[in-house]
A and B are shown apart, each in its own frame.
Chain A
């Protein structure tokens, strides 16, 4: 808790705030981010770095908390603990509304300003009384991807849905269709998760519908077998191919020109922006009017080197 004093001194933003004489700037603002990730989950390292950078730049103290084993019931206890320690703001995920909405709305009622990030939906965030939601709404991400594809001249596509039971997956496909301005119809297939099954179904669909112009995969589970399917059919690099996430074989495929873009939900922004928003809200009372979409960030062959360099740190 001593570090922020030092950073406050070196932070230009904080200095401006102090000179500005805003009443809340003098006191030490404290924000706590509670995630649902276990200790070993490397993805959240980016979140921690974003949080630390936001705290440093704004001259506020930030803390990161997580349940060591990823147990959501433990996470609820941590949120209750954070509430008892009365920070100015709480940044947290809504991984399971059943478990977390009670403790989170109790925090809101106790006078703590809450921003929901990453998991959950804007509607759920509003229901618990949060200020806003910062994340990647599935439909919006699909829609933005669809618009991008439309700009590239695409009019038909195949959505390879490997997790059709999860409504969020279908929303991605629906959003993509709407972004393109076409009917989804039967352009979404239930591919299953077995790699060879995914591969066969993609090949079957593309054989039956040879005029298909684009393929959208929803993550490495469907993207990796789709790459192999396109490879076998000689379509790799020819057909327009976009995917969610950057894991598995996706990054090499982007480099090779097989995949046009991968969608990154940019976790950095999910931790960084709430700190900026909260600090300005508490100092100057200004608050953006909408939820913030941290993604989709499109990763293409052009910015791949930057992404690779900062992977795990800020990307």
Chain B
């Protein structure tokens, strides 16, 4: 498909149509449109598109977005992190033990947990770049190590694997609302007064809107996507990330600090996992040893649906976010459409396969390989 061989490929003109087609997020954009069309037809009247329904799948999608952004940046830098799910459980348990069992202030528990988890991310990254082992194996080790500690500590300290009572501890805390709070509550109350959205019909909250605000989880997801997208596409550091994942040796030759970039991306992945865990713990008020199971694969699937290459050096945060939205909408939408829960994995597998095949074709167009 490519080239006359005469012109240097870097200054070669490509047509606008072609430019539009070789975007990594193309497959994901098509997917999002298809998914919404599908559910508009099959679940349009099921409550999926009323305010509570929208909030429900948006929240679930936002969860996926948060971990997918981290996984995407790391994957573009050429590495994997399979310990994301365990990190979520570990971070949540860490906050619970520090704030409830040890009775430290919640803000301190949150900040310390971020420090600990990002250090673990740095450790994973350091081991990967120092030993040259595949990150697949190193992070797999951390998947087990972190999950083991997440079960061990609460069992030894509290003799149970679910620690609750964080909501009471978080009351009046200055940092907790940044993760568990809601924004725009006044606006939604106004909407309810205008009869635009439904209100509770009974109980202590009768008359209050069913959707009382946008959870901070969604705000975090948006902020992370925007910041990561700008860093990746508009800064020198973003170029370094692409270079480190594309061809690490070539990047080193031109002076890119590949090892540092990779370690920082492991730390960023850990940061995203901790954001996820903190939002969850503050919202639900308890941490369990089984939280976050299999989330690492969900993050990777979202990223791959979003068009990133498993081999690194190619991908987009917007694509990963769209992949996460597809994932979240499909997961909740199948419930709305009344499909057996057990079939969810079948759909997931089909979508994944479809996305990967589509993305492979796109890559072939870009690289010109046959």
A interface with B by C-beta (< 8 Å) = 1, 39, 63-66, 68-73, 76-78, 80-86, 96-99, 102, 105-106, 108-111, 129, 165-166
Contacts and interface: CB of A to CB of B under 8 A. Distances in A.
A81 B203 contact: no
Contacts of A165: 159-160
B124 interface: no
A72 B292 CA distance: 10
Closest 7 CB pairs of A and B: A98-B286, A109-B203, A98-B164, A84-B52, A84-B53, A109-B200, A69-B293
Given A78-B335, A83-B52, A109 B205 contact: yes
Contacts of A73: 280, 284, 288, 291
A77 B284 contact: no
Interface stretch (B12-20, B110-118, B249-257, B340-348): B340-348
B288 A72 contact: yes
A160 B332 CA distance: 44
Nearest to A73: B280
11 contacts: A85-B46, A85-B336, A96-B164, A98-B286, A99-B288, A109-B202, A109-B205, A110-B201, A110-B210, A129-B203, A165-B160
Given A86-B47, A109-B204, A109-B205, A71 B290 contact: yes
A72 B163 CA distance: 13
A31 B152 CA distance: 39
A82 B205 contact: no
Contacts of A98: 162, 164-167, 284-286
Contacts of B166: 98
Contacts, number: 110
Given A84-B50, A109-B201, A97 B56 contact: no
Nearest to B158: A165
B48 A102 contact: no
Interface string B201-238: 11111100010000000000000000000000000000
- Residue from B48, B202, B335 whose CB has the most chain A CB atoms within 10 Å: B335
Contacts of A78: 335
Nearest to A85: B47
B56 A81 contact: yes
Given A39-B342, A98-B286, A85 B335 contact: yes
Interface string B325-336: 000000010011
A65 B335 contact: yes
Contact of B200 (A39, A64, A82, A110): A110
Contacts of B344: 68
Nearest to B49: A84
B159 A68 contact: no
B132 interface: no
Given A65-B341, A98-B162, A106-B210, 10 more contacts: A69-B294, A71-B292, A77-B60, A80-B56, A81-B332, A98-B285, A99-B286, A106-B200, A109-B202, A110-B200
Contacts of A96: 162, 164, 286, 288
Interface in B137-176: 159-160, 162, 164-167
B269 interface: no
Given A68-B345, A99-B285, A111-B201, A77 B164 contact: no
B338 interface: yes
Contacts of B200: 106, 109-111
A99 to B, nearest CB: 4
Interface string B37-70: 0000000001110101101110110000000000
A4 B292 CA distance: 36
A82 B284 contact: no
B286 A77 contact: no
Contacts of A1: 338
A258 B292 CA distance: 43
B171 to A, nearest CB: 14
Nearest to A32: B335
A111 B48 contact: no
Nearest to B344: A68
Nearest to B198: A110
Contacts of B280: 73
Nearest to B46: A85
A84 B197 CA distance: 12
A39 B345 CA distance: 10
Contact of B203 (A66, A71, A108): A108
A71 B292 CA distance: 7
- Residue from A68, A73, A110, A166 whose CB has the most chain B CB atoms within 10 Å: A73
Contacts of A166: 160
